[in-house]
Amino acid sequence: MEIQNEIILKLTNMDFDLSDQQKMIRKVVRDFVKKEILPYASLIDKEGRIPNEILRKLGIMGFFGLVIPQKYGGAGLDTISYAICVDELSKACASTGVTVCVHNSVAAYPIYLFGTEAQKRKYLIPMAKGKKIGAFALTEPNAGSDAANVQTNAVLDADEWILNGTKIFITNGSIAKNVLVFARTDKKNFKNGVSVFIVEKGTPGFSIGVIEEKLGITGSDTAELIFEDCRIPKENLLGQLNNGYRMALQILDSARIGIAAQGVGIAQAALDASVKYANEWEQFGQKIAKFQAIQWWIADMATEIDAARLLTYRAAFLKDKGIRFSKQASMAKLFAAEVAMKAAEKAVQIHGGYGYCKDYPVERFFRDAKIVSIYEGTSEVQRLKIAYKVLGL
């Protein structure tokens, strides 16, 4: 308890500046994004896919193993550095940001946390190196916010598990080579009857269903996954049997830091575009940046984005220090989601008619921003989680 109190005391007096290493990482990522992602963001949105060449370059740069130790092929970064990377990627292209975020936080990282050494060698290393994309298959038609209501089932038959069921809204679903699948292994136990399995693409009985056409993040792959008598080796059970619900809660707490960072990146892009436009566009004989209404919008956007970023960094800091961060991650995601939507809406308004046209990126920011309040736990779910923690329920 004394050690934890000492860490919390340091947190309250922490230096809010980034370390030299974190600043260097931010610069490297910004330079890469400016050259390799930003010029193609509009095309990614239009075509509804991220080109394989960009995915390959992301892998070479280490983006698919950001928080995985170097021992397993990753970059071994701290969580704040991870948030910086997702922020910068999402500022240029939210579709790319979430592809990297989901792969890292809910596909690769759980194998590092819960996997056997053999699983880490077989699955984690190629994932961390970007040679195989990962996905996280929890959501079902009746198991969204109610994550424990998983109906996909797994039955042990000798040395194999047989999976049957359907997953929906799976990010990276059709491009993933390795998928973490949540399936019911005890029908009598609601929350403590779900387990997690590693399923490889190409396994007989595993197929891709509908590829979703979405409002925003159109370049991010979102697919239905179908399992029909899909047989996988017994050793592909990840973690302990019937511990999947607890694992999901732990995994999603970490994932929310990345999604919060995505919201911050989208909001920052909206602000940057608004500042540029306001300083260039003239009405009534002067730059619109001279109008008080525009100034107040810009001031609110800048303030709220800073607050969202600090909330995200705080959650990341606590995670790295081994302090419980569930409430702080929910706060960061909740606030960043609302800031992203507000900033994008104001950016469209500042741009006027042009903001409603695809010639300007703010209409894409507006469409991309909405999803931040939905996936990895809706804003309503985050409010419940925060309230339960505050009320001590």
Residues recognised as catalytic: 376
Contact 69, 76 (CB under 8 A): yes
Contact 231, 160 (CB under 8 A): yes
Q: Give the CA distances from residue 53 to residues 23, 170, 285, in Å, rounded to whole numbers and listed in that order.
A: 27, 22, 46
The tokens for 154 are: 């797994």
Per DSSP, the three-state class of 233 is: strand
- Packing angle, helices 20-36 and 79-92, rounded to 10: 20
Closest by CA to 329, choosing from 321, 318, 339, is 318
Question: Residue 112 half-sphere exposure, CB side, CA atoms within 13 Å?
Answer: 25
Q: How far is CA 5 from the centre of its chain?
A: 30
Count how many residues are written for the chain: 393
Contact 225, 137 (CB under 8 A): yes
DSSP for 129-185, written as a single string: TTSS-EEEE--BTTBSSSTT----EEEEETTEEEEEEEEEEEETTTT-SEEEEEEES
The tokens for 232 are: 């996988």
Rounded Cα–Cα distance for residues 58 and 36 (Å): 9
Q: How far is CA 321 from the centre of its chain?
A: 21
Please, is 159 exposed, middle or buried when counting C-beta atoms within 10 Å of its C-beta (0-12, 13-18, 19+)? exposed
